[in-house]
Amino acid sequence: PVYKNGKVIHLIGAVVPTEPVEDNLAMTTHIKHELKSRLPEYMIPRKFEWMEQLPLTSNGKLDRKKIAEVVNG
C-alpha cells in the first residue's frame, strides 16, 4: 500500500510472471480487468511492479520491506 497522512491512498501490486511477457502494458490491462470482475474497486492496485522473483527474508517469508523499497524506488 501507498500511505499519505497515515492512510492508504492506493495499492501497488507486485507481479512475478511464470512465463516471459512481451507487453507489460497489455498484461497489466488484462490483470486489472480480471481483478475488477472479482474485487471491489478499492482493492485493485493502481500500479503493478514487474519482478523476476519476490524477495524473501532469511526465514523464507515474503520480505514486504524489500518489496516496498523496489516499488517506491
The predicted-structure confidence for 2-52, as pLDDT tens digits, reads as follows: 889 999 999 999 999 999 999 999 999 999 999 999 999 999 999 999 999
CATH class of 2-72: alpha beta
Cα–Cα nearest to 17, from 26, 9, 27, 7: 27
pTM: 0.75
pLDDT of residue 71: 80
d(CA 73, CA 67): 10
Domain ranges of the chain: 2-72
